[in-house]
């Protein structure tokens, strides 16, 4: 099952998140071990590191249940120079994280390739806007409060 957000998104959820159709019901599949694909962005390149790190490093308290659950997931970094096809083919659920996913052709290509090669894919837009409808969950930003709410949602806390 690959999730695709349908425009317009359904009602807002935790922290004002917007969810694509069927996403809330599919979330339990992503609460066990999953693979995280982190898309680089211009902001990240300027900083030299992804601004959301592995999420747990940025948004959880050390030793918290969310920290323990999220930290066990492998993280794959992808940028504009990586061929989208090489990302992965895995049986585990995949969570793709990015900012401005719909606006950058290479990010859309990566999302399309992951959706084509993996059975369960959840795309999370961490930027202020969900451009192009590529996200299953749009957080409306990546500040600490939204990050904590996202991790609670993804970890089932």
Q: What digits encode the pLDDT tens for the residues 15-71?
A: 689 999 999 999 999 988 888 888 876 555 554 555 555 566 667 778 888 888 888
What the block records as the tokens of 78 is 């992808």
Domain ranges of the chain: 31-119
If you average pLDDT over every residue of the chain, what do you get? 78
pLDDT, one tens digit per residue, over 68-77 is 888 888 888 8
Residue 9 is given by DSSP the state P
Q: Residue 139: which of 153, 150, 152 has the closest Cα?
A: 150
pLDDT, one tens digit per residue, over 4-18 is 444 444 445 556 899
Distance (Å) of CA 129 to CA 86, 99, 125, 135: 27, 8, 8, 10
Q: How confident is the model at residue 142 (pLDDT cuts 50, 70, 90)?
A: confident
């Amino acid at each position: 099952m690959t999730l695709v957000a349908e425009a317009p998104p359904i009602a807002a959820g935790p922290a004002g998140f917007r969810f694509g159709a069927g996403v809330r019901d599919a979330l339990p599949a992503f609460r066990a071990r999953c693979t995280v694909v982190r898309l680089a962005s211009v902001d990240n390149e300027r900083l030299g590191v992804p601004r959301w790190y592995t999420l747990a490093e940025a948004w959880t308290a050390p030793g918290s249940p969310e920290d323990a659950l999220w930290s066990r997931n492998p993280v794959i970094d992808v940028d504009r120079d990586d061929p989208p096809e090489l990302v992965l083919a895995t049986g585990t659920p995949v969570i793709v994280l990015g900012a401005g996913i719909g606006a950058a052709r290479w990010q859309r290509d990566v999302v399309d390739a992951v959706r084509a090669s993996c059975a369960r894919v959840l795309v999370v837009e961490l930027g202020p806007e969900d451009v192009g409808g590529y996200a299953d969950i749009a957080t409306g930003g990546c500040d600490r409060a939204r990050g904590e709410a996202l991790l609670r949602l993804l970890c089932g806390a």
